[in-house]
Structure 1
Amino acid sequence: MANTNLTAAKKAKNDEFYTQYHDIEKEINAYLDYNPNVFKGKTILLPCDDPEWSNFTKFFAQNFERFGLKKLISTSYAVDSKLYKNGYQVTMFEESAPQYDSKKTRKKGKIFTLTRDISGDGKIDVDDLEWNYLKGDGDFNSPEVKTLRNEADIIITNPPFSLFRDFLKWIREADKQFVIIGNMNAITYKEVFPLIKENKMWLGNGFHAGNAFFATPFAEEYGEGVYYPETGLVKFRNVCWFTTIDHGKRHQPLQLMSMTDNLKFHKKLKGQEAYDRYANFDAIEVPFTDAIPSDFKGAMGVPISFLDKYNPDQFEILGSSRTLGVPISQIAEKGTYMQGGPRFYIPNDDGTYRRMYDRIVIKHKKPVK
């Protein structure tokens, strides 16, 4: 259900999802644990944000000095560019500011910056944020936000799910480091997978137990199991962090059993005499990450969720089911398989072929003994 609702949100462009403070804290701390100076002297840009409500802005502003930041920049879209604009109310924070303009507040985006102690309390934190209106509506593709992008060292945000491809391209045009949230299925995009394969982007530390909770103005539009009335939040399971910043989890080796032991002891493989093999590509099917055999020397097809445990020192990514394999139509008779995009197929005993979900193809990096 979560995947269905997230897909619906993308299509409808209901992209106002606000990340929880503790999720941001958990993710950023993973990078700091690996490298305490990762943000020192850096300018961080938080685009596609809403500084008055966003936990990204609050988190980095509150930790400005601890992280040793040089500058924090946060920008938001104009109210009139949002789907829930008719329910918008000016906050006291904005209305009481000397630069408040009743005409600009709906038409213009806003920019918040943090560089110095303006409150006079001897520290730099959220109370020292300075803000003004942007010249335009705050679209990340606008020239003024591109200028801010070019100034920044690291870009961190939860971009609109419907614009993930465009946003990633926007970041890479300027060759910036980043930490962004996206749909797990983005791994299969032709714009994304090559970056992961070439070790130019990877998954972050991740959400607790794989559950991402967001606040959204559209929360009540989601069904049971996604919308939680007691908290007012929505939960998605297929959401992850994408990043170019290293963290310790990425270098933890997977503890694996041999092929024989997996077939004998793995609860979900017990009863199988052997691992299945694909009909249209020379690799074995490994349906669960923890079922990867430690002693298999060839290619293995694994679920895309494997990337959450992927250690580049332990495994090599060869490709995916969308880029490898012979078209099933070349080796199977019509009517014996389910048609669709490029996929791997497993032969059944009755002469038909079972189409698999997207798979990533890997092999052990170090020689298997």
Structure 2
Amino acid sequence: MTIKMATSNSGLNHAAKAKKDEFYTDYDVIQSEMNYYTDKFENKVVLCNCDDPFESNFAKFFLRNFNYLKLKRLICTSYSGSPVTGTQLSLFDDYNEPVTSQHGYVMDISSVPMSNGRGVTDADVTALLHSKGVVKRLKGDGDFASDECISYLKQSDIVVTNPPFSKFRSFVALLEKYQKDFLIIGNVNAMTYKEIFPLIQSNKVWLGASIHSGDREFRVPDNYPLKAAGYRVDENGIKYIRVKGVRWFTTLDYSQRHEDLILYKRYLPDEYPTYDNYEAIHVSKTADIPMDYEGLMAVPITFMDKYNPEQFEIVGEANHGSDGPLDIFKPVLNGKTKFKRILIKNRKVQHIED
């Protein structure tokens, strides 16, 4: 059942990102995923460290749902150079100077008052952000890897954000170093990065619940070059692009990932060829995984959308054959190289009598 949390109003529609390879995350995308983890946040400190703490939909979401989720604390940091700082709200920092894109800032709160006593409204959020001492200027530029922001990371329990895709490896490495739970957005191909795949294989990180296929639309800064295959400009001149293969990556468990994938096909050698250079069968689609095969199977990376660790074992990957010990071979079939695959074994092989 979907949990009804605070929804966004027209003024809270898009989260702001400053890096050129970051995109504005839609409020509904955040809420759809968060519906699966509402029991994970009670008395937790949440950090959004790749956002603008006043314009971001991550910040807006957690402000509006602070009391519903029973958060202990919310910390959001921004970095200097953001093209959106000050575009929605006129705020003043702890120096009583206007908030501008020239500085990084932090919003650090432990309570969100409700004027009507029933739920947090846009007016409540605006009033809170205008309260003295809520908006503070950082000493540095607000980069998530800076000592100043790492100090906030150390104080947090769960990191929820959309990091720059180009810095996804280093961002996850930082979270791993400090052993932080996270719920972050990345490209589906990040699963096969040599820095990320060992976490996937060892069941320390997995894909989220709400995005399983297709692409997603993100708002981009006004100066963003529209070179993507799919883009649009709305009636207000706001730019959007469609990004393929977007997924949530997380360390937070949810019940749906423990549901068995229903298998209906049986193994036939003619339908499941063996690779030229390795003893594993090629499975073209996740839905075609044979129920009765005991050996190694090379499946699409999108198999991870259906992965149940009790049903399947991830043995390794077939990518370049050289990205570390888990990259077992380069997938070559009938002399042609196939797209990267994940190597699995079925833990619940079904032996069917003819």
Change (3 A) 1:63 1:90: closer
Change (3 A) 1:22 1:294: same
Local SS of the residue matching 2:89:
helix
In 1, the alpha carbon distance for the partners of 2:348 and 2:28 equals 37
Other-structure match for 1:319 = 316
Local SS of the residue matching 1:59:
helix
Local SS of the residue matching 1:16:
coil
Change (3 A) 1:153 1:96: closer
Which structure 2 residues correspond to residues 254-265 of structure 1 after superposition, within 5 A? 254-259=261-266
Change (3 A) 1:31 1:120: closer
In 1, the alpha carbon distance for the partners of 2:294 and 2:241 equals 43
Change (3 A) 1:285 1:89: closer
Using the TM superposition, give the Cα deviation of residue 106 of structure 1 relative to its aligned residue in structure 2, in angstroms. 3.7
In 1, the alpha carbon distance for the partners of 2:287 and 2:112 equals 50
Using the TM superposition, give the Cα deviation of residue 101 of structure 1 relative to its aligned residue in structure 2, in angstroms. 2.4
Using the TM superposition, give the Cα deviation of residue 154 of structure 1 relative to its aligned residue in structure 2, in angstroms. 0.3
Maintained 8 Å contact 1:220/1:227: no
Change (3 A) 1:229 1:97: same
Q: Any gaps of 5 or more consecutive residues in structure 2?
A: 1-18, 323-327
Change (3 A) 1:100 1:93: farther
2:97 corresponds to 1:101 = yes
In 2, the alpha carbon distance for the partners of 1:223 and 1:323 equals 29
Other-structure match for 1:66 = 68
Maintained 8 Å contact 1:315/1:365: yes
Paired residues, number: 316
In 2, the alpha carbon distance for the partners of 1:146 and 1:319 equals 32
Other-structure match for 1:229 = 233
Local SS of the residue matching 2:179:
coil
Which structure 2 residues correspond to residues 25-174 of structure 1 after superposition, within 5 A? 25-32=31-38, 37-79=39-81, 82=82, 84=83, 90-91=86-87, 93-95=89-91, 99-101=95-97, 105-117=100-112, 122=117, 125=120, 126=125, 127-129=127-129, 130-174=134-178
2:330 corresponds to 1:343 = yes
In 1, the alpha carbon distance for the partners of 2:286 and 2:244 equals 17
Change (3 A) 1:359 1:97: closer
Question: Which one has a larger percent helix, Structure 1 or Structure 2?
Answer: 1
In 2, the alpha carbon distance for the partners of 1:212 and 1:63 equals 24
Maintained 8 Å contact 1:77/1:110: yes
- Deviations along 1:101-125, whole A, 9 cap, x unmatched? 25x7343211112212467665784
**TM-score, normalising length: structure 2:** 0.82
In 2, the alpha carbon distance for the partners of 1:196 and 1:65 equals 33
Q: Any gaps of 5 or more consecutive residues in structure 1?
A: 1-12, 264-271, 326-340, 348-352
Maintained 8 Å contact 1:119/1:128: no
The percentage of aligned residue pairs carrying the same residue is: 40
Maintained 8 Å contact 1:47/1:157: yes
Using the TM superposition, give the Cα deviation of residue 139 of structure 1 relative to its aligned residue in structure 2, in angstroms. 0.7
- Deviations along 1:127-181, whole A, 9 cap, x unmatched? 4342111111101111111110000000010001111111111111110000011
- Deviations along 1:209-266, whole A, 9 cap, x unmatched? 5332211115862347421234732111211110000113311211111226xx7xxx
Using the TM superposition, give the Cα deviation of residue 23 of structure 1 relative to its aligned residue in structure 2, in angstroms. 0.5
In 1, the alpha carbon distance for the partners of 2:59 and 2:342 equals 35
Using the TM superposition, give the Cα deviation of residue 93 of structure 1 relative to its aligned residue in structure 2, in angstroms. 3.0
Other-structure match for 1:357 = 339
